[in-house]
Amino acid sequence: MTKTDLSPDAWNSRYQSGDTPWDLSGPTPEFKRLLDEGNLPPRGRVLVPGGGRGYDAVLFAERKFEVDLVDFAPQALEAALIEAARQKLTVFVYRQDFFALPELPYHACSYDIILEYTFFCAIDPALRPAYVKTAAALLKPGGLLVGLFFPLEMDKPGPPFVVSEKEVRELFAADFEITIEKPQMSIKARAGREFLGLFRRK
C-alpha cells in the first residue's frame, strides 16, 4: 500500500495505524468561529463528507443541527460514533461513497450546509468537477458549502493535492455564488496555506 493509494481500504488502514496528519483531534477552529459569530444558519441539516473521527460533526450536533457524516473508513466512523455518544449527541454516520449520495432520496437536495475540510484535496483531482456537481445536487437551493481549501502549495506528491483559488472559482462558478475570504482561525501549520470559501447554491 502506498501513500498515493486512494482506495477505501487504504484510508481505513491509515486510521488503524494512526497515520492521520489531517486529523486536528478536535473541531476546526474556523468552523467554530463562524458559528460563534453567527455567520452560518442557526439550524438545519449538515453533511460532513470525508468527516473522519467526527469532531466537526459533533460540534454542529452540539449546536442543534441535524448532522450526517460520510466516510469510507469504518475505523473513523466508529470513532465518530464514540465521540458523539461520549457527549450524548446524535450524529448519523454512513459508510458511503460521497459521489453516490445524490442517487439516494434521503440525501438528494436535502442539506442546508456542507462542511468541506481536507476532503476536496484528498480525492483524485480528476474528480473535482464531479465533486462540485455532487455538492450542488445535495444542497437545497440557497444552501451553503462552507470550506477551508488546503493546501495552496505542496513540496511532495499528494494526497493532499494542491488547490488553487483560481481553480476553485472556475469549478464552482456555474452552480454557486462564491465568497472567498482569508481564514481568521487557521491552525499554525496551515496558516497562509488555505482559504475560506462560502459558496451559496444558486
Q: Which helix (H) or strand (E) holds 111?
A: strand 111-117
DSSP helix/strand/coil, 15: helix
Q: Which residues contact 64 (CB under 8 A, 6 or more apart)?
A: 43
pLDDT grade, residue 31 (50/70/90)?
very high
DSSP state of 54: -
Looking at residue 73, its pLDDT comes to 87
Q: Mean pLDDT score of the chain, rounded to an integer?
A: 91
Looking at residue 11, its pLDDT comes to 59
pLDDT at 2 over 50: no
49 is a domain residue: yes
96 is a domain residue: yes
Question: What tens digit of pLDDT does each residue of 158-182 get?
Answer: 789 999 999 999 999 999 999 999 9
pLDDT at 13 over 90: no
Question: Grid coordinates standing for 151?
Answer: 493546501
Structural domain that includes position 185 = 8-14+43-201
34 is a domain residue: no
The share of the chain scoring above pLDDT 70, in percent, equals: 90
24 is a domain residue: no
> What's the CATH code of the domain at 62?
3.40.50.150
Could you give the CA distance from residue 48 to residue 114 in angstroms, rounded to a whole number? Answer: 6
134 is a domain residue: yes
pLDDT at 148 over 50: yes
Could you give the CA distance from residue 34 to residue 40 in angstroms, rounded to a whole number? Answer: 6
66 is a domain residue: yes
CA geometry: angle 142, 148, 153, nearest 5 deg: 140
154 is a domain residue: yes
Could you give the CA distance from residue 96 to residue 35 in angstroms, rounded to a whole number? Answer: 27
Q: How many domains are there within the chain?
A: 1
Report how far apart, in Å, the C-alpha atoms of 92 and of each of 95, 132, 152, 172, 199 are. 10, 23, 32, 27, 24
30 is a domain residue: no
Question: What tens digit of pLDDT does each residue of 73-118 get?
Answer: 888 899 999 999 999 999 999 999 999 999 999 999 999 999 999 9
- Beta bridge pairs of residue 198: 146, 179
Is the separation of the CB atoms in 67 and 115 below 8 Å?
Answer: no
